[in-house]
Amino acid sequence: MSSPLTPDICIIGGGSGGLSVAAAAASFGVDVVLVEMGKMGGDCLNYGCVPSKAMIAAGKHAHAIREAPSFGVTAGEAKVNFGKVHDHIHSVIGAIAPNDSAERFRAMGVNVIEAEARFVDKATLMAGKTEIRARRYVVATGSTALVPPIPGLDTVDYLTNETLFDRTRATRHLIIIGGGPIGMEMAQAHRRLGAEVTVLEGARALGKDDPELAAIVLENIRAEGVTIHEGSKVTSVEKRGKTGVRVHYESDAGEAFVDGSDVLVAVGRLANVEGLGLDAAGVEHDRRGIKVGANLRSSNKRIYAIGDVAGGLQFTHVAGYHAGLVVQQILFRVPAKENRDIIPWATYTDPELAHVGLSEEEAGKRHGGRISILRWPYAENDRAQAERKTTGLIKLVVDRKARILGVSIAGAGAGEMINMWALAVSKGLTLKDVRGYVPPYPTMAEIGKRAAVSYYIPMTRKPYVRWIVRFLRRFG
């Protein structure tokens, strides 16, 4: 057997987080080994963010054709070729894939080993037949779709995000189990591409977002023809005929069922911890992932965990954020801690839904109710009126000193708009800072400044302030 590899860093997982650590470390000339048993780029590139947004884009084009007459443009009936939609999705993946390829990272100086990784003790990892004894390890294995133990589900060809985008034929009636971001994005996209869609959600659809803003999004999706049953627990699944499926569920209204052609399971994610030999490595973990501290270090001081497998927020940009924190600690010995309060997220429905910072409820609890809530609707924005995108609003949560604690947006471009507010929250900016910047006209982002300025409107009515204004007028 050849001598073991002894790199400075060994990364397990070639998804967004792992690749970010590898690229950063290699750029400083650090000896890095990256172990990946599947596709480079991970879930985001191959099964998640990229293909889903490509499908959403196709749905938007179909929807734009249907909306064209309201702008005085007649484009005819939208015709969807699902085979070409499939080709569009995979051409997007293909365009991005070279950036994440093993060849590119080898050219950077990263030793990429395409094999299964397993710890055999607290200091040693086996990658296939290659023994690795690294100074530090970074586990970045991500997550996979959670498939709940629903009776009968294993008797049908159910879909998850890992199989949904391989389809080349149109779906007649898609039944989606789960009303979270993935479920609602795919519900609207498939509806716009011509499918009948039913969503079954056990609790509240888009339940992790602000209820006020989530309601705006759900109302719009329902208006497009998607059936959404909230508070509906799926009890069993069975085949119906040669190609159909029947899903049974129960709610406060009693037991019911829905028949469809396909079923998509979108009830959450499961951290990829199986088969890694974490017990042998002395790493504490459970089904939610590897247990880490705020510094992302596990119970084994040699081993860090980042991204979905770290058991926290499951977003691609979180994995990238984690990567930076880990690189800072491993390469420069500078302490770093995760701050989840500054993490934004967006759901790419239409209208979009985005958030950063504390929710109204969270802020109320932390600040003893001493907060202010500011809103401004899209309907009072000139650009939104011009584009007929007047559905939605921005909601700001601020403390007694006007410091911005959290922001939620439901409306067109919310995912892009939240960027500025993510910066504001991370830097502890106040409404005075926002009041001082000049947005170009006409842009939808103006709604943020309008909401911020509304905070100061009550001051104009105060007798003392008005007295000062009258007094100063005496001086010309």
Q: 183 a known binding residue?
A: yes
Residues pairing with 264 in the sheet:
159, 176
- Whether 308 has a binding-site annotation, put simply, is yes
Please check if 141 is assigned to a binding site.
yes
Unique residue bearing structure tokens 């924190």: 325
Structure tokens at 162: 């890992």
142 in a labelled binding site: yes
How far are the Cα atoms of 19, 218, 351, 376, 466 from residue 101, in angstroms, in the given order? 10, 38, 34, 44, 65
83 annotated ligand-binding residue: no
Q: Name residue 423's beta-bridge partners.
A: none
Q: Is 178 annotated as a binding residue?
A: yes
Is the separation of the CB atoms in 22 and 11 below 8 Å?
Answer: yes
CA angle, corner 315, sides to 293 and 45, nearest 5? 130
180 annotated as belonging to a binding site for a ligand = yes
What residues does 233 pair with on adjacent strands?
A: 250
Residues whose CB falls within 8 Å of the CB of residue 236, separated by 6 or more in sequence, listed in order: 150, 151, 152, 247, 248
Binding site annotation covers 436?
Answer: no
Residue 227 three-state SS: strand
32-35 and 9-12 as β-strands: parallel, antiparallel, unpaired?
parallel
Q: Binding residue per annotation — 420?
A: no
| Residue 261 marked ligand-binding | no
| Helical pair 16-27 and 316-332, crossing angle rounded to 10 deg | 30
Nearest to 11 by CA among 121, 143, 110: 110
- DSSP lists the bridge partners of residue 249 as 234, 256
Q: Answer yes or no: is 29 a known binding residue.
A: no
**Overall size of the chain counted in residues:** 476
Q: What are phi and psi of 213, to 5 degrees?
A: -80, -35
Q: How far apart are CA 173 and CA 340, in angstroms?
A: 38
Q: Known binder of ligand: residue 13?
A: no
Q: Is 268 marked as binding a ligand?
A: yes
Q: How do beta strands 173-177 and 196-200 pair?
A: parallel
Find out whether 201 is annotated in a ligand binding site.
yes
**Does 316 show up as a binding residue in the annotation?**
no
**Residue numbering of the annotated binding site for FAD:** 53, 141-143, 308
> Which residues are part of a known binding site?
53, 141-143, 178-185, 201, 268, 308
Annotated binding site for NAD(+): 178-185, 201, 268
